[in-house]
Each structure stands twice: as structure tokens, then as C-alpha cells.
Amino acid sequence: MKRLLILAAFALCSCGNSFVFEPSSVADAPEGEVLRVEPPCWWTGMKTSLQLMIYGPGIGNAESVQLRGLDGVSIGHTTKGDSPNYIFADVTIGPKATPGDGWLVFTLADGSVFKYPYSIGEKAAGQRESFTTADMIYLIFPDRFANGDASNDSTPDTKEKACRTSIHGRHGGDIQGIIDHLDYISELGATAIWCTPLLTDDQPRGSYHGYACGDYYAIDPRMGSNALYKEMVDRCHDKGLKVIMDVVTNHCGTDHWWMKDLPFKDWIHVFPEYTGTNVAFSTNMDPNASAYDLNLQESGWFVPSMPDMNLDNPFVLKYFQQWAVWWVEYSGLDGFRVDTYPYNEKWPMSLWCKAVREEYPWINIVGECWTFSHPQLAYWQAGAPNPDGFNSNLPSIMDFPLREAIVSAISEGGDNPGWLMGTQRIYDCLSHDFLYKDLSHMMTFFANHDHGRMGDAFGHDAAKMKLALALLATVRGIPQLYNGDEMMFSRLPGQDDGDGAKRIDFPGGWEGDAVNLFSPQGRTAARGQYASAAELHDYTARLFNWRRGKSVLHNGKTMHFVTRDNTYAFFRYDYTDAVFVFINNSGSPKAVPWSHYAEIVPASVNATNVITGRPAVLSEDLTVPPFTAYIAEFSR
């Protein structure tokens, strides 16, 4: 009788072709009946169509799903998953739709009716500028950066608890710790931050890195909350910092909530037994590659704890397209970095990039395409003239070949390097620039969270570190600096060179730390492996604060000159300005062969030494000390 009364009241609200929904006419969903609705909210004025993934016990058996209480918003087609606990609902949001709080109304096969809240907001007006060559991106590894809120180091709803003494454990760094040190980041000369993933990673071990996602719509509670992430973005914008979100479309974690009950049997790639990827990126463009090898590259799992997503399933692709758009609109972030980009199925990922940029034409997306092959890297950039006609729609790529060249070259410092060794590596690497579609969309770097610390790579030599910093600040592209490399971080005594050592804590980020490298006093007082911290920090800040206002570095051309004595000279120039860089990677003073540069500078010029700020004369009389970068700017 009660059910009949509810249905009668529901019907009385209908009048002709119009429908005025009275929420009190339908009962709320019983607890546990609807477990998830994703995306959790949406907006009017979006170009991206909305497809809800609704999860709850037996919800796929619903006779109908309607969206009530919002003018101009309705549900059209619905699709049941392979699991009876999912239903996918396509939502139409008309051009005159009214934002507000509505209700998903479910009618089950037994005649019962219940409702679940769903909100539609209004899309933010205007557009922002994403990251460009005018920026310096500061890469933060959140768990190891700073602990701003010790109360969330361990939470009852997550499996792995904090253990700072374990190199592979969670150390407690969080979003509040990032917020607390935004002034440090800005004063260093950074204009954007890229945080490795902050979303929930609920693996029982090794979850500190965040790359095994357990919930794509939730910030990990040990990092903070969705609201705090949004606050971080706002605080960054107040300080002139852009925010780049690190996203993973290729894989999730084995402890993602859907792994116990997949929506479709082919939601992830499934094999009779564990099958890892062959990491053969060349199969994507190799005309001789077998379909077998290509499939293994795309479909094999990254590691046993990271199931490989099947982006060829249109519901999976749609899920990830909406998810990216949702985070931009919800939080106001400014760009994306896509992890393990070539491991994804390339055609669906092209559609992913296209969808995100159709919604936000201004946004920049950079992909991690870890290859040292110039042609294979160039293949992944949007608009590349690929023989197979493939267009990734991915604007930016990470310049791994240049990274390898810089680190190898500086590590080979000294007199008489071997053929094509030392600084010749950098010259040779940049000579391949003709392969790239857009040099202004190359992310340049000499390390990130997957590389050994620079202090170890350079033998704790501050002079070598300065050479790397000078190159990063002056070569073409968008520079990215990994947190701590401004002070030549190295692994702690006794540590091996595993992932945990690459992600050591930032001294001063935890209460009670004996060393505080966030403060000038702490840097000056530092000893041992941090003895050069103050000198290197100030050198970095000088370079990148100067770089902020240098259009010639953001937009200028490059001309470089080959030598065989472990030096490297190049100019960044435009019609009005020039920057001259001379890298002496040898163990001897080197006279600058100024007459060799006559095609760009026909005579000696008055300039300014960028590091000292003092006047300088660029001529044949200039000599650069060993293991030194000389940088000067002048008007043309």
C-alpha cells in the first residue's frame, strides 16, 4: 500500500507534457542502494557530453533512470554494464538548462522508486593561460616535500599507515605542506607547480607515490581533501603560480574500488595469467612491427599492482575524458601531465587529448614519452607529419633525449673527451630539433622523480650542478626542475639508488628536522651533503627569476657552435635581444673564440653578466674558467 501511495503521488505531479517534480513525493535512496555516481557533479555550458556511471547493488536492473528537478536536463539512453551493479546514463543538458540541485530517480523492476541527489552548476566564464615557455615548472613529490598536517599521516579508511623510517613507506607530506611553502617556490623563480599524483592510492604497500589510483574523483585523505586541493590551486594563483595535475590513464591500482566488481569484463586488459607490457614503444610507429607485439605493448600491465585500462572500450574512454574535464572545472587547475603516455592505446588517447582541448582550447597537456630516440619522440607531438597519418593531439612532450645528453655530458667533464662525448652530446641532441613539430612545446629537464638524484649523478660537485642549471634556464623549451635539485639533493648515506632514494624528504618539511633548507638561515648553516645548499639555491633563484622576464628565452631562436674541447656555445636571439651562453665543461680555462660567431655578432659587444649583474665585454679577450657557465645578455 505504501508503495502504491508513493507512485500515486509521483503521478499526480505530472500534468500533460510538463513535469514539476516534487522531491517529497519520492523516497530517498535507502542507505547503500547507490554507492557511487561519477562524475559526482557537472555544469551547464559544457561542450563535453555527460555520461553518468552509477554504481550500486543491482542498480543495473533498474527499469528506468530519470533526472528530475532541473529545467532543460534529462536522461536519454541508458546502458547496463556486464555487472548488474552498474548502469551508464547519457545526460542531455540543453542550452537553456538551469543550474541547481536535481534528483536521479530510479524505478526498479519490483515497482519501487527512490531518488538520489545530483547537482548541475554553471561553467566558469573566460579562460586561463596554461604553462608555456615563459614558465619554470617546479616538480613536487608531495609525500616527501613537507608535512603540513600531521593529523592525516594515517587515516582509518586507508590501508597503508605512515612510517617515515621506511624508505618505501608513507612519510606524511601533504597538500597543506605544499601550501605552507608556496612562497619558497615562487621566490625560487618557479611560475608553475607539477605535483605527482594526489588522488587516492590505497595499495597496502608502496602507496606513497600515488601512481596506482584507487579513486579518480577523490584526493587521498592522507594528502588532504578535494576542497583543500581546490584551495591550493587558488592560493597558487594568488601567488602567480599555475598548477599542473599529474594524471594516469594507462592503469589504476589493484585496490581501486572497481577491481572487485568491474563494470564490463573488458574494462581492463585481462590475460589468462599476469602479462606485463613489453615496453616496445617502437611498435606504435614501426611499419614492420607485428600486431602481437603492439598488442602486448598497449595491453600488458605496467607492473603486477597496476591493471592496464582498456581505452578501446568506449565507456572507459568516456570515463577518463569526463574525469579530466571535471578536475579542470572543479578546481581551476591549469594543465595536465600524462604519465606513461605511449603505454596507452594511441588512437583512444588521441581522442582523449582532443576532447579535453575541445572543452578547454587554451590548456596545455604534456606527455611522458620516455624514449631517447628523437624520431620516436617526435612522433607523439600533435601535428607531427607521421607517415601513418597518426595525430596524437598531444601538444607537448617531455624531452628525454636532451635530458640524457645534458646529464651524460656534464658527467663526462674534463679535458679531451672522447668522440661525440662531453658537450658534443648536447650539440648533437639539439641538432635533431628539425624533427619536432613545435619546439615551444618541449618540456626540458635534467631529472624527475624517476631519476637518480643529481648530487649522486654529478659526484656532489656544485660546479657541475651549476652547469646543468644554466643549461636548463637557457635552452629552448619549457624548463622543469625537480624539488631539491636547486640544492643538489643526493641519496642519504647507506641508501641504494632505488625509487625511495630518488624521492628523499625535503629537510625542514617536518617538525623537528635538524636541517631546514626552506629557510635562508638553514641553508647557510647546512653542512655535509647540503654544504652547497645556500650557494646553489641562490644561483638557481638568480637564473630563473631573471628568466621570467626574458622573451628572448621564451620565444627566441637558437644558434649553436660545435667544438671538440668539451665546451659548448650558443645564442638565444630575436630581432632586438640576445643571450650568449658558453659552457666550459673542461678542466682548463677556455678562451672564447668570439670571431667564430661573426655571423650573429660581427664585433665585440657590451653586455651584462647575468650571474653577477656586472657590465661585460664580449670579445676574443674573454676567458671562461673550468667547469663554469658564462651567461651574458645584450641588445642586438
Q: What is the pLDDT of residue 1?
A: 35
Is the domain of 24 the same as that of 151?
no
Is the domain of 425 the same as that of 547?
yes
Is the domain of 48 the same as that of 142?
no
The Cα 579–Cα 474 span in angstroms is 8
> Does residue 14 surpass a pLDDT of 80?
no
- pLDDT band of 416, cuts 50, 70, 90: confident
Q: What is the pLDDT of residues 493-535, one digit of tens each?
A: 888 888 999 999 999 999 999 999 999 999 999 999 999 999 9
Q: What is the pLDDT of residue 19?
A: 61
Q: Which of 551, 569, 592 marks a domain boundary?
A: 551
Characterize the bridge pairing of strands 113-122 and 42-44.
parallel
Total structural domains within the chain? 3
Q: What is the pLDDT of residue 4?
A: 35
Q: What is the pLDDT of residues 448-464, one digit of tens each?
A: 999 999 999 999 999 99
Residue 250 lies in a domain: yes
Q: Which of 96, 122, 148 marks a domain boundary?
A: 122
Q: What is the pLDDT of residues 107-151, one digit of tens each?
A: 998 889 999 999 999 999 788 999 999 999 999 999 999 999 999
Phi, psi of 319 (to 5 degrees): -55, -50
Q: What is the mean pLDDT of residues 477-484?
A: 98
Is the domain of 563 the same as that of 495?
no
String of DSSP letters for 8-50: HHHHHTEETTEE---GGGSPBPPTTS--EEESS-EEET-SS-E
Is the domain of 575 the same as that of 538?
no
Active-site residue list: 339, 368
> Does residue 2 surpass a pLDDT of 90?
no
Mean pLDDT computed over every residue of the chain: 95
The Cα 235–Cα 259 span in angstroms is 35
Is the domain of 335 the same as that of 476?
yes
Residue 382 lies in a domain: yes
String of DSSP letters for 55-101: E-TTGGG-SEEEEESSTTEEEEEEEE-SSTTEEEEEEEE-TTPPPEE
Q: What is the pLDDT of residues 592-623, one digit of tens each?
A: 999 999 999 999 999 999 999 999 999 999 99
- Nearest Cα neighbor of 625 from 613, 611, 635 is 611
Is the domain of 199 the same as that of 307?
yes
Is the domain of 278 the same as that of 393?
yes
Model pTM above 0.85 = yes
- pLDDT band of 338, cuts 50, 70, 90: very high
Q: Which of 74, 98, 122 marks a domain boundary?
A: 122
Angle at 425 between CA 449 and CA 547, to 5 degrees: 60
Write out the residue range of the structural domain in which residue 618 sits.
Answer: 556-635
Q: Is 251 in contact with 267 (CB distance < 8 Å)?
A: no
Q: What is the pLDDT of residues 278-306, one digit of tens each?
A: 999 999 999 999 999 999 999 999 999 99
Is the domain of 42 the same as that of 152?
no
String of DSSP letters for 471-519: HHHHSSSEEEEETTGGGT--PPTT--SSHHHHT---TTSSTT-S--TTS
